[in-house]
Homo-oligomer: A and B are copies of this chain.
Amino acid sequence: MSSVWGNHLKITVFGQSHSEAIGVVIDGFPAGFRVDFEALHTFLARRAPGNAAFATARKEADIPEFVSGLVDGVTCGAPICALIRNTDTRSGDYKNIAQCPRPSHADYPAHVRYDGFQDVRGGGHFSGRLTAPLCIVGALCLQYLQTKNIRIGAHIAAVGGIADTPFDAVNVCDDHFLTDAFPVLSETAKTAMQERIAAARADGDSVGGVIEAAVIGLPVGIGEPPFEGLENRISSLLFGVPAVKGVEFGNGFEAATLTGSQNNDAYCVKNGEIKTVTNRHGGILGGLSTGMPLLCRVAVKPTPSIAKEQQSVNLQTKEPQTLVVNGRHDPCIVPRAVPCVEAVLAVALTDTILGSVIHEA
């Protein structure tokens, strides 16, 4: 396992789905920052289960306790540790997993890697529940970045093949949009997506989707290329979110179909600042921020836990075995993954910014 991430802001995520607690330690966060707990709880609520028809029925308050790093709600420079107790767990649901890996979960390779000692209850440390600590640190970083006029937003670009309208970096960073539990620009698309999810649930199935995110307000020249540039760092952390299978920046895979003259972004001057006329590059060139909105798309696979019967193998006998995954599962985790993507962007950018001070010789 490697649950530590970051060069300047070092985060350490701990806990399993059914351990006593999950949490995070945040090392390197600037001192003197007053945490807005209400904003923090609002942000965490977007990721929390049980909000709506399209989410799992598991309900937990998920209010973190900060056991270090704060004095009267203000950061003191010492590492911040926040804990969430696991209270509503039903370990019995997962007993049959130990010997029969769920398709497209980490069960089988984890069994081999940890020699059978991994915590199988609820997916253990591989559980999507571990994105809650990630969202705690993400929430703090979002607040920190806002003091520097950097804002991060996202929308559900697609669910099960149903697409939202093209997004706009400014709109998705709007305050109102940021508190939406199902952030879609087109109301028609939103309804269609929710119906698609309801249909999947009714069918004992699940659906995947795509999240599009934007960052506005980044200064020019942030990043440490070639190996710690913005794309390297963001993608490195994004793949720590379960179910993420693809990442692209700017027009991404579409760029592969274009010519240079179609894909290049001409420079211009707007309000005295150098900008590009278009933003196919997604705000990053050579790993450095360009001052244009950072644009990022993330592919989320359908929840592998489905109610349908599936074909697996008994790990001891190596005989075929039919598996029905019990427990409560989201038919679509895309809405709950939206704040996770925002959190990842906030953490990756805060880490970069804390280390990117320009030291003039």
Contact = CB atoms under 8 A, between A and B. Distances in A.
A113 B360 CA distance: 10
A76 B118 contact: yes
Contact of A32 (B69, B117, B311): B117
B205 A320 contact: no
A208 B3 contact: no
A360 B252 CA distance: 36
Interface string A59-80: 0000001111111001111111
A81 B311 contact: no
Interface in A105-152: 105-106, 108-110, 112-119, 121, 124-126, 130, 144, 147
Interface string A251-275: 1110111111111111111001010
Interface stretch (A36-44, A49-57, A174-182, A282-290): A282-290
A163 to B, nearest CB: 10
A301 B284 CA distance: 13
Interface stretch (A12-20, A164-172, A185-193): A12-20
Interface residues of A, number: 160
A113 B118 CA distance: 32
Given A14-B79, A23-B67, A253-B253, A281 B2 contact: no
Given A77-B1, A224-B1, A286-B126, A239 B246 contact: no
Interface in A211-234: 220-229, 231-233
Nearest to A283: B109
A302 interface: yes
A18 B311 CA distance: 54
B272 A318 contact: yes
Contacts of A65: 20
A310 B264 contact: yes
Contact of A306 (B105, B209, B261, B299): B261
Interface in A340-361: 354-355, 357-361
Contact of A226 (B125, B262, B285): B125
A315 B274 CA distance: 8
A15 B78 CA distance: 7
A162 to B, nearest CB: 9
Nearest to A231: B239
Contact of A30 (B83, B250, B259, B359): B359
Contacts of A231: 239, 244
A21 interface: yes
Given A67-B19, A205-B260, A110 B286 contact: yes
A193 B66 CA distance: 42
A202 interface: no
A5 B257 CA distance: 30
A227 B308 contact: no
Q: Which 10 A-B pairs have the closest CB atoms?
A: A106-B286, A246-B248, A113-B221, A33-B361, A78-B125, A2-B228, A109-B288, A206-B260, A246-B252, A2-B224
Given A67-B83, A101-B267, A248-B299, 9 more contacts: A13-B226, A76-B124, A109-B286, A113-B220, A232-B235, A253-B297, A266-B311, A267-B311, A355-B355
